[in-house]
Structure 1
Amino acid sequence: MITDIVKGAGQTVSSITTGWVEKLIISGTLIALEKHCVIFVLFTMVVFIDLLAKWIALAYKELVHERATDRSLLSCIKAIPEAHRKGIINSYVMKTQFVGKIIVYMLITLPAICIDTAIKVSGGHAEFGMMVLAYLCLTELLSIVENLNDAGVSALSGLITAIKGKRGD
């Protein structure tokens, strides 16, 4: 048993050194892109929450159409599968819009980050990436609040005005 452990440890140590150039390049790239990967994942989560809020709003409209007495947020969430079965929530359209939105946002954000990097490398200071990210995040937040407002969560109506003010509308 101990010889198996020592043998396994020896194999692990020898495999660590195999492909060290590739491992070094991949590790360096991931370290360099870490911040951007985290931002991308978080931003994708915000867009996904917006998609969920849209589903809730569509389910709410269906509950209103059916004259349901319980139109609470929880009822709207529970009504999402039924709205999907009825075709009110169309998976293909929603997926296409979701993926399309992510691609457009990346096409807008990537050049802004590249410009920031170029200016910083040349000794300047730029915040174009932050400006674009902040605007897009506020736009998504506004969309989430508007969708929830459409779903009958009226407590958020004042927040719509505040977000539009921060966004510059």
Structure 2
Amino acid sequence: MNEVISYANAMWQALTHSFILRSILSAIASVAIWLAGLKHVQVLGIFILLVFIDLLTKWAAIAYKMLVDDGADGIKLSAIDKYIAIPCAFERRLISSEYMRKGFVKKILTYVAATAAAFLFDSMAGGITNKSSFAVNLVWLYLGSAEFLSILENLRDGGNQSMGKFLDLVKTKIESRVKL
């Protein structure tokens, strides 16, 4: 019986430990879940995911180049080999987390600023009651396209030769749609 009481006491201590911190984090999570219902926040989440994929594929491309420079046959390397070599590329300081972190923050701040400006433009041009979002959609198309193209370029640079022709096709389609 003492064992059960001791176990229950330990559980109670674990539950109440840092109760205020857990309550604050729970409140923040609740607000975040509420905000997730907003389309702009949802698209921000998707954009952040694109940026993470872009960074991961960039790291894989750098690791692939490192392996090839070390004498590995690029054709015989599997996709997993590049990702397994990423920690080694960090150790050799070929990948700088500071550079990648600054790039990530810059991309997110660009997204937020451009989306906010486009939202204000749409509000001004169409009024609050009009649900037109021409400028916001244009900003999202441009920023999403830039990240998508960067991911494809990283995949190509990471030894995926088939991405070269696909990248050219996608660039042509995007450029014809955005008129760059």
Question: Do both share a fold (TM > 0.5)?
Answer: yes
Matches for 1:1-169 after TM superposition, within 5 Å: 30=34, 34-69=38-73, 70-118=76-124, 119-121=126-128, 123=130, 125-168=132-175, 169=180
Read off the aligned partner of 1:94 and give its amino acid letter: M
Read off the aligned partner of 1:90 and give its amino acid letter: S
Unmatched tracts of structure 1, length 5 or more: 1-22
* Identical aligned residues as a percent: 34
Name the CA distance, whole Å, in 2 between partners of 1:35 and 1:137. Answer: 15
Q: Which moved more, 1:96-105 or 1:49-58?
A: 96-105
| Residue in structure 1 matched with residue 23 of structure 2 by the alignment | none
TM-score (norm 2): 0.72
Superimposed CA distance per residue, residues 11-31 of structure 1 (whole angstroms, 9 cap, x where no aligned partner): xxxxxxxxxxxx9xx97xx46
Name the CA distance, whole Å, in 2 between partners of 1:33 and 1:64. Answer: 46
Read off the aligned partner of 2:139 and give its amino acid letter: V
How many residues were matched structurally? 144
Unmatched tracts of structure 2, length 5 or more: 1-26
Deviation of 1:46 (Å): 0.3
Asked whether the equivalents of residues 49 and 144 of structure 1 are also in contact (C-alpha less than 8 Å), the reply is: yes
- CA gap of 1:71–1:39, structure 2 versus 1, over 3 A, is same
TM-score (norm 1): 0.76
Asked whether the equivalents of residues 61 and 157 of structure 2 are also in contact (C-alpha less than 8 Å), the reply is: yes
Superimposed CA distance per residue, residues 27-76 of structure 1 (whole angstroms, 9 cap, x where no aligned partner): 7xx46962111111111000110010100000011001101244221100
| RMSD (CA atoms) | 2.3
- CA gap of 1:149–1:125, structure 2 versus 1, over 3 A, is same
| Residue in structure 1 matched with residue 14 of structure 2 by the alignment | none
Deviation of 1:142 (Å): 0.5
Name the CA distance, whole Å, in 2 between partners of 1:137 and 1:82. Answer: 30
- CA gap of 1:144–1:31, structure 2 versus 1, over 3 A, is closer
Name the CA distance, whole Å, in 2 between partners of 1:150 and 1:65. Answer: 13
Deviation of 1:164 (Å): 1.2
- CA gap of 1:167–1:71, structure 2 versus 1, over 3 A, is same
